[in-house]
């Protein structure tokens, strides 16, 4: 078994522990309940909990259950946030596969850099497609997001007659398709001609406020 695969197993345990934490922040998680949730054996669960306890992520007490330490809480929260961000991303795409299973695979590929990019691109979503709250950003990610987004503004903020280059469009597949048909995409020059009126090349277009807020320059 590669180190990468073992890390993914650790991630899954800490993420599931965080899911239990969301339901009961102070209760200990019984080893059998955790094993059942992860669909693994109680013996392998005990072994992993001992390993994670040795790394400082878990406070494990035999026969009483486990709770996340402060370090484990931060890590588990981060993994759960990345999973739910992945689900939001998949919901924006013309994706017809198993959203949850695919998000489970994607979350392990999301590092800090990609979490920052997804947070900005998806406009820092607060809930996933099922309506479940997305955990808030860790402090280090929030600082990077604020710094990266600082220079961006939506096209509503363009002055009358001002032109700018589109740097990001935050929209679902249907809206994105319509915008592309209008000639709007990343790299396009757009000029404001007053409220809800814009010029792209030689074409005048009307955009309501909701969609205009999703076009960033």
Q: What is the DSSP string of 152-181?
A: --BGGGSPTT-EEE--EE---HHHHHHHHH
For 170-180, write each residue's pLDDT tens digit.
776 677 778 88
Output the pTM of the full model.
Answer: 0.76
Longest dimension (CA), the chain: 72
Least confident stretch, 51-55, 70-74, 77-81, 100-104: 100-104
For residue 217, the tally of other CB atoms under 10 A from its CB is 20
The mean-pLDDT minimum among 11-20, 74-83, 139-148, 172-181 falls in: 172-181
What domains does the chain contain, in order, with CATH numbers?
3-68 (1.10.10.10), 80-149 (1.10.10.10), 155-216 (2.30.30.90)
Per DSSP, what are the bridge partners of residue 68? 58
Residues whose CB falls within 8 Å of the CB of residue 40, separated by 6 or more in sequence, listed in order = none
User: Do 147 and 153 touch, CB atoms closer than 8 A?
Assistant: no
Across all residues in the chain, what is the average pLDDT? 89
Evaluate the CA torsion angle 89, 91, 97, 103 in order and state its sign: positive
Number of CB atoms found within 10 A of residue 181's CB: 8
Cα of 143 vs its chain's centroid, Å:
16
Q: What is the percent of the chain with per-residue pLDDT over 90, rounded to a whole number? A: 57
Burial class (CB in 10 A: 0-12, 13-18, 19+), 8: middle
- Average pLDDT in the 144-157 region? 81
Burial of 58 (0-12, 13-18, 19+ CB in 10 A): buried
């Amino acid at each position: 078994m590669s180190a990468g695969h073992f890390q993914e197993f650790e991630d899954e345990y800490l993420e599931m522990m965080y899911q239990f934490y969301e339901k009961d922040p102070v209760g200990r998680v019984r080893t059998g309940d955790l094993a059942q949730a992860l669909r693994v054996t109680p013996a392998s669960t005990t072994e992993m909990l001992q390993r994670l306890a040795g790394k400082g992520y878990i406070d494990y007490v035999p026969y009483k259950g486990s709770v996340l330490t402060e370090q484990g809480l931060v890590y588990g929260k981060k993994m759960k946030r990345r999973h739910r961000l992945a689900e939001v991303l998949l919901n924006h795409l013309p994706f017809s596969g198993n959203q949850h299973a695919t998000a489970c695979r994607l979350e392990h590929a999301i590092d800090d850099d990609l979490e920052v990019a997804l947070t900005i691109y998806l406009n820092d979503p607060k809930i996933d497609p099922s309506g479940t709250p997305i955990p808030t950003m860790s402090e280090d990610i929030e600082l990077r997001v604020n710094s990266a987004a600082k220079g961006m503004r939506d096209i509503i903020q363009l002055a009358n007659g001002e032109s700018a280059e589109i740097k990001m469009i935050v929209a679902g597949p249907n809206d994105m398709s319509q915008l592309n048909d209008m000639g709007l995409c990343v790299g396009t020059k757009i000029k404001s001609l007053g409220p809800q009126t814009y010029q792209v090349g030689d074409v005048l277009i009307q955009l309501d406020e909701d969609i205009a807020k999703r076009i960033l320059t």
